[in-house]
């Protein structure tokens, strides 16, 4: 197993190193670009071989930043960033961009083989109203140099403090077919276009779009180096009552998102909490379905 080294640049980011590689940067410094819906994010994510497996501010969607948890439609506001989809109009620029404020860490627990973060955030709408409070738990663990993989788990508990229902939706709930993105979202590097998508049920990217799946994996080939990498995405037991419909594309870019409001809006009453958890395995090489299934079967949720 790999030994972790953690560096915390106060007010900016937390960087995790393993085997001499900075495998994770969790960036929480205030983002000055309001149109991109400021929020914390993970970028870069790297494999243990040192290959970057996230993209940041790509020219087609500047608001895509590595791995982040957010929401494209919340009671008329956009916490995703960029243009908003409006029924019968399409994508338009609106004055409806929200943001997430980092309020502090309740824990930054670093051990030799594991890092656990507990962060408090506030969701603030475009009118500067506080709509939600979030407790976010991110862990880095199971760093295995021989296997060439490491694991990130992410749990977010989002509590409605608005005083009225919060309605979480997506472009699809607003009328755009097969665009149900919202929730935890990964944007892959440009070189990962036309990569390989694997699922527990044997579906490809087109087949799993808008469907349920026990897990979804994405393998891509890097520029400059003769290597592939694989990321495996899986929902946790807390999501079992309302499993995600997956938003997955390999063209025109690589994206994986287990959506919590693909086809139908999710209504969150005042005082209620939306509790979701996920696992991401970051691995060297192009993994097979059998290897993925065996790896996930050996893991436990903590």
**What is the 3-class SS of the chain, one letter each residue?**
CCCEEEEEECCCEEEEEECCEEEEEEECCCCCCHHHCCCCEEEEEECCCCCECCCECCCCCCCCECEEEECCEECCEECCCCCEEECCCEEECCCCECEEEEEEEEEEEECCCCEEEEEEEEEECCCCCEEEEEEEEEEEEEEECCCCEEEEEEEEEEEECCCCCEEEECCCCCCCCCCCCCEEEEECCHHHCCCEEEECCCCCHHHHCCCCCCEEEEEEECCCCCCEEEEEEEECHHHCCCCCEEEEECCCCCEEEEECCCCCCEEECCCCEEEEEEEEEEEECCCCHHHHHHHHHCCCCC
Tokens of 246: 């997956």
Tokens at 270, concatenated:
């005042």
Q: Tens digits of per-residue pLDDT, 180-207?
A: 999 999 999 999 999 999 999 899 999 9
CA gap 10, 150 in Å, rounded = 25
**Contact indicator for 149, 180 with CB cutoff of 8 Å:** no
- Nearest Cα to 181, choosing from 63, 24, 28, 52? 63
Where residue 51 falls among pLDDT bands split at 50, 70, 90? very high
**What pLDDT digit, counting tens, does each position of 155-172 carry?**
999 999 999 999 999 999
pLDDT band at 131 (very low <50, low <70, confident <90, very high): very high
Q: How many residues does the chain have?
A: 302
Q: Locate 75 and state its tokens.
A: 């009671």
Stretch 22-41: mean pLDDT: 97
Strand-pair partners of 96: none
Cis bond before residue 116 (omega within 30° of 0): no
- Its sign, for the CA torsion 14, 18, 22, 26, is negative
The percentage of residues in the chain with a pLDDT greater than 70, rounded to a whole number, is 99
């Amino acid at each position: 197993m790999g030994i972790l080294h953690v560096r915390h640049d106060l007010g900016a980011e937390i960087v995790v190193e393993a085997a001499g590689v900075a495998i994770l940067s969790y960036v929480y410094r205030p983002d000055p670009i309001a149109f991109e819906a400021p929020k914390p994010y993970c970028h870069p994510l790297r494999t243990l071989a040192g290959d970057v497996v996230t993209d940041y501010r790509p020219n087609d969607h500047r608001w895509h930043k590595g791995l982040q948890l957010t929401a494209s439609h919340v009671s008329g506001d956009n916490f995703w960033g960029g243009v908003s989809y409006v029924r019968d109009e399409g994508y338009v620029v609106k004055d409806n961009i929200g943001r997430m404020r980092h309020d502090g860490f309740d824990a930054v627990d670093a051990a030799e083989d594991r890092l656990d973060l507990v962060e408090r955030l506030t969701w603030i709408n475009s009118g500067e109203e506080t709509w939600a409070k979030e407790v976010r738990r991110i862990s880095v663990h199971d760093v295995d140099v021989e296997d060439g993989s490491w694991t990130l788990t992410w749990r977010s508990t989002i509590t409605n403090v608005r005083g009225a229902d919060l309605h979480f939706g997506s472009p699809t709930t607003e009328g755009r077919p097969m665009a149900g993105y919202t929730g935890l979202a990964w944007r892959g590097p440009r070189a990962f276009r036309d990569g390989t998508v694997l699922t527990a049920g044997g579906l490809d990217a087109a087949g799993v779009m808008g469907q349920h799946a026990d897990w979804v994996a994405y393998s891509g080939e890097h520029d400059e180096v003769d290597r592939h990498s694989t990321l495996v995405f899986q929902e946790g037991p807390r999501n079992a009552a309302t499993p995600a419909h997956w938003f997955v594309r390999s063209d025109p870019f690589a994206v994986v998102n287990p959506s919590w409001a693909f086809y139908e809006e999710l209504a969150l009453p005042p005082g209620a909490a939306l509790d979701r958890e996920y696992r991401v395995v970051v691995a060297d090489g192009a993994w097979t379905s059998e290897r993925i299934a065996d790896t996930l079967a050996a893991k436990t949720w903590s």
